[in-house]
Structure 1
């Protein structure tokens, strides 16, 4: 692992001190480091003698990096991590999340743990966690990348009225939802928006999707778990001309009376973890799952 990209949020610049700390840690291991072009001047202005300028490079797009990338560090929170997944698309580059945000469920390594973690990682003591992604069929303008690590969401737009969503699985009608929207979640996304809407938590290795309605107006409707080889079709009708559709952090308006088809993607997100990583420990430490003063 000689060439490493540090990915940061496009809209919210990270703390320059955090960025410089990360660069210096990587350069202790004699690594070539790429940072976004918009941050290069801020780093140079610090005039830190410990930063090796001949090992620091800038990029604007992934195509600017004319050499194999071995690792991406997503420096920020979970939103930055998801952006990083969409940035590298299907390049099969492992991602390590460094949490400088709030929760840090995906970006679960703190900055003060980074140097120690890299000691192990650069000696080959790590694992790659291949996470299922989902795919939205059709021509939609999601930067030519109609995939999501967490979820696909349909939400009402321009109206306080509910929308109606017909759900079909493998061509068979399952239910009609009267709701504010619906979430199709991967196991990774089951701890995100779907969880907030009352969906269950799935282990990342579960070969399933979760279908979770948002503010459904029916006492008899609950989230549904289906196999991830299912073809999920959603037909929307509404008093409004448009609804909002989202793939992870990216949202666009789309015409109602449209049918959206979701399936398992052929590509995976590659999350890099130290060997000590355990999903259930993260669940307990980040979401306080199972917290009970009696335990």
Structure 2
């Protein structure tokens, strides 16, 4: 089995030891790693054995020959892994070396058990929808998609902004706020959750509109079908504002329109019986720990 490996930056001896241990487990299973170029250089500086393995540096390297993609880090690392995988249909596994980890949901002590289940093909594929944006100037080039969310927010001002919003070409609302999040179900446990939005099961085919610090007590997050286009236009006192696709951010001018749609492809996440979405939610959010249960 050929496994593409992408991981967070190695900045310490402890980081290297974490990666080295995971690779030793990969070798024990008889799998062949294909290592992201920067990660391979970091590993090779500390152990030349990693120089012998093939590497990849872009999504084009996922065209053939890779059976699975392994993300080692946190949710941010997982999102970057998705930018390599894209529409290749290569399934993805996330090992959590970070903090909370809703996407990278396999903990250190679950690695061997999870790899054994992968070897025995005892897993399911969970399709995760993505979101994409269309702008007149093609701000994000061919990386105009996000796994978690699209966010519009202020840049050079402390004043509120107004986000005029249409759903399927029908006027919905003018959000007076610090910004607006349009989230996928995967992103419902990210920025959306921090701003009071609902947690949504990943299999739901919806988008979530969540204002950031809305200056109107009647405004609430809204869940809409993901097959309807959302048109957004920012207005305010400043000349420039920010639009973010997950961790990628660009500047847009006052009055520019953005179309938000469901991306034309999905990401296949491997789900084991020991790391389901509901189990992850219970563990990370500490649900069910009430003494009365």
TM-score > 0.5, shorter chain as reference: yes
Distance in 1 of aligned mates of 2:190 and 2:50: 39
Q: Which 5+ residue runs of structure 1 have no aligned equivalent? A: none
TM-score under structure 2 length normalisation: 0.92
Alpha-carbon contact 1:152-1:248 (below 8 Å) kept: yes
For residues 130-160 of structure 1, the C-alpha deviation after alignment (integer angstroms, 9 at most, x for no partner) is 0111111134332521111111100011000
The corresponding residue for 2:238 is 240
Distance in 2 of aligned mates of 1:290 and 1:142: 42
Superposition deviation, residue 275 in structure 1: 3.3
Change (3 A) 1:53 1:112: farther
The corresponding residue for 2:85 is 88
Over 6 Å off, 4+ runs? 11-14
Where 1:109 maps in the other structure, the secondary structure is coil
1:203 aligned residue (201, 204, 207): 201
Tell whether 2:24 aligns with 1:4: no
The corresponding residue for 2:76 is 79
Higher mean C-alpha displacement, 228-237 vs 35-44: 35-44
The corresponding residue for 1:230 is 228
Superposition deviation, residue 57 in structure 1: 2.5
Change (3 A) 1:66 1:285: closer
Change (3 A) 1:294 1:238: same
Alpha-carbon contact 2:230-2:260 (below 8 Å) kept: yes
Alpha-carbon contact 1:37-1:59 (below 8 Å) kept: yes
The corresponding residue for 2:26 is 26
How well do the aligned residues superpose, as a CA RMSD in angstroms? Answer: 2.2
Superposition deviation, residue 36 in structure 1: 2.8
In the alignment of these two chains, the number of paired residues is 291
Q: Which 5+ residue runs of structure 2 have no aligned equivalent? A: none
Matches within 5 A, 1:147-186: 147-186=145-184
Superposition deviation, residue 199 in structure 1: 0.5
The corresponding residue for 1:68 is 65
Higher mean C-alpha displacement, 184-193 vs 132-141: 132-141
Distance in 2 of aligned mates of 1:249 and 1:187: 17
Alpha-carbon contact 1:9-1:83 (below 8 Å) kept: no
Distance in 2 of aligned mates of 1:11 and 1:230: 42
For residues 162-205 of structure 1, the C-alpha deviation after alignment (integer angstroms, 9 at most, x for no partner) is 11111111111111111000000111111110110010111111
Distance in 1 of aligned mates of 2:245 and 2:45: 37
TM-score under structure 1 length normalisation: 0.91
